[in-house]
Amino acid sequence: MLDGSSPLWVRHATMGAVNRPTSPPRLGLQPVRGGVDAAVLAPHATAVDLCLFDETGSPASEQRVPMDGPRHGVFTAHVPGAGAGLRYGFRAHGPWEPLHGLRYNPAKLLVDPYARGLVGELGYGPATYGHTVDSLLRGDACGPPDPRDSADQVPHGVVVDTAALDGPDPATNRPWTPWARTVVYEAHVVGLTRLASFVPAELRGTYAGLAHPQVVEHLLRLGVTAVELLPIHAATSEPLLVGRGLTNYWGYNTLGFFAPHAPYATAAARAGGPAAVLAEVRTMVHTLHEAGLEVVLDVVYNHTAEGGPAGQHLSWRGLDNALYYAYDCNVPAMYADVTGTGNALDFRRAEVVRLTLDSLRYWADVVGVDGFRFDLAVTLGRGVDGFTADHPTLVGAATDPSLHGLKLIAEPWDVGPGGWRTGEFGLPFAEWNDRFRDSVRSFWLADPARAAHGLPGHRVRELATRLAGSVDLFGAGNPPLVRGPEASVNYVTAHDGFTLADLAAYDHKHNEDNGEDNRDGASENKSWNHGVEGPVLPDSPAAEIAPLRRRSVRNLFATLVLSAGTPMIVAGDEMSRTQQGNNNAYCQDSPISWVDWDLAPWQSDMLATATHLLALRRDHPALRTERFYTGAPLASGLPDLAWYDPAGVLFDHARWHDPALRTFQMVRTAGSARDVVLVVFNGALDPQDVVLANTDGDPWLAVWDSVWEHPDDQRDVAAAGPGHLPGGAKVTMEPLSMRVYVTR
Start-to-end C-alpha separation, the chain: 82
Please say whether the beta carbons of 364 and 403 come within 8 A.
yes
Spatial separation of the C-alpha atoms in residues 59 and 315, rounded to whole Å? 18
* List of residues 6+ apart from 493 with CB closer than 8 A: 437, 499, 500, 503, 570, 573
Q: Is 406:182 a contact under the CB 8 Å cutoff?
A: no
411 given a catalytic annotation: yes
Parallel, antiparallel, or unpaired for β 386-387 and 294-299?
unpaired
What's at 25, amino acid-wise?
P
Q: How far is CA 401 from CA 357, 365, 406, in A?
A: 11, 10, 10
Q: From the candidates 320, 411, 486, 645, which is the catalytic residue?
A: 411
Query: Active-site residue among 375, 414, 424, 589?
Result: 375
DSSP string, 148-198: ---TTTS-EEE---GGG--S--GGGS-----GGG--EEEE-HHHHHTT-TT
Q: Which of 104, 540, 582, 25 is nearest to 318 (CA)?
A: 104
b/e per residue, 372-385, with b = 16+ CB within 10 A?
bbbbbbbbbbbeee
Q: What are phi and psi of 707, to 5 degrees?
A: -70, -30
Distance CA 72, CA 39 (A): 12
State yes or no: is 375 an active-site residue.
yes
C-alpha to C-alpha distance for 738 and 562, rounded to whole angstroms: 11
Residue 11: which H helix or E strand, with range?
A: helix 8-15
Of 224, 222, 227, the C-alpha closest to 610 is 222
User: Residue 557's closest CA among 210, 224, 284?
Assistant: 224
**What positions carry a catalytic annotation?**
375, 411
